[in-house]
Copies of this chain bind each other. A is one copy, B any other.
Amino acid sequence: MLVPGSVIGILGGGQLGRMIALAAAELGLKTHVLCPDKDSPAFQVSAHHICAAYDDRDALDRFAAAVDVVTYEFENVPLSTAEFLVARVPLKPGAKALAVTQDRLLEKTFVRDLSIETAPFAAVDDLAGLERAVAALGLPAVLKTRRFGYDGKGQVMIRPGDDLTAAWHALGRQSAILEGFVAFEREVSVVAARRGDGAFSAFDVTENVHREHILHTSTVPAALTAETAKRARIIARTIGDALDYEGVFAVELFVVGRGAGERVVVNEIAPRVHNSGHWTQDGAVTSQFEQHVRAIAGWPLGEVSRIGRAQMTNLIGADVHDWHALLAEPGAHVHLYGKDEARAGRKMGHVVRVKRDPDVCANIPEEGC
């Protein structure tokens, strides 16, 4: 268990690392950030950082020597980096979470082996394999690289009649997975925390809307039956346990069917704090960032209840130019990431709006302070 004053090392200096660092600071912890990008947003809020490549062993050695635990903000930390660090300092979440989630085929297989439903999938290693997979799963389907994809990158939609050779070349002829189409009603996610000893806590299920493969809004509560919401949390716990997970993670799910036929299908696991959990900063008693810090510190997990109905909206690219109007909107919580250049598709910040929820009001204990 960490004590206040300990140093959390963070691999990755983007907005997630930045918000982890800010949450750690509120709890009296220090941070140290390693990232190859000299303009890393997280560098701005941490007294110490190392600007170096993830495979720079001298830098990793210095980093490991300066911190009490290492965590990460992205799932594409090279496994060799993770293994190098693990030999020197605790890594939380552990290397297993990285190994499973870095590879879409391993991840889907892992989930299916837990008897949890996923989209139908098949491995694709060459054009002949793609033809076999299409014959098995049908079209439309999505061809995805096994590794290093995010926000819609590294994937090609294949519709009936499309040329398979073209799709295979578009993806760069690398090891891939074909995922069958899921006719979902909506997309939701569970953001949950697990401590090394198995303590588990999940925020309310969040409903997510994407635009051009990038998260646009997250809304809680999600429009789900209580039973489906419960099932989604159980799935998250099952996955967390199977990964011996430590920290916050997200499980993205498709909601399929309606009413009594409603069910959830796992789409993806993110072994880190997640964009769909940003609403917790202003809409829950504990934020996902604080929760992640508590979990990796071995501290008691925080209270996850909502303080209202919440909606998070991402500020992508030029959206951030509305910052002044957003600051003027009563009750809008504006979060900006300290990035200079508002490039198209770049996550620049987000806004959280919290409204009254009569159910929440009724649930808060009334006794005085």
Measured CB to CB, the residues of A under 8 A from B are 4-5, 18, 21-22, 25-30, 43-47, 49, 219, 285, 294, 299-300, 302-303, 305, 307-311, 320, 323-324, 327-328, 330-331, 333-338, 340, 349, 353, 355-356, 358, 361, 364-369
Taking each of A29, A302, A310, A369, which has the highest tally of chain B beta carbons within 10 Å of its own beta carbon?
A369
In the complex, are the beta carbons of B309 and A330 less than 8 A apart?
A: no
Taking each of A4, A46, A309, which has the highest tally of chain B beta carbons within 10 Å of its own beta carbon?
A4
In the complex, are the beta carbons of B337 and A324 less than 8 A apart?
A: no
Across the interface, which residues of B come within 8 angstroms of A338, CB to CB? 4-5, 25, 28-30
Across the interface, which residues of B come within 8 angstroms of A21, CB to CB? 45
Across the interface, A47 reaches (CB within 8 A) one of B27, B30, B44, B327, namely B44
Q: How far is the CB of A20 from chain B (nearest CB, A)?
A: 12
Across the interface, which residues of B come within 8 angstroms of A328, CB to CB? 300
Can you list 17 A-B pairs with a CB-CB distance of less than 8 A?
A4-B336, A18-B25, A22-B22, A26-B336, A27-B335, A28-B336, A28-B337, A45-B45, A46-B47, A285-B333, A294-B327, A305-B331, A307-B307, A353-B369, A355-B367, A358-B361, A358-B366
Across the interface, A26 reaches (CB within 8 A) one of B22, B285, B369, namely B22
In the complex, are the beta carbons of B26 and A335 less than 8 A apart?
A: yes
Across the interface, which residues of B come within 8 angstroms of A47, CB to CB? 43-47, 49
Across the interface, which residues of B come within 8 angstroms of A367, CB to CB? 355
In the complex, are the beta carbons of B45 and A219 less than 8 A apart?
A: no
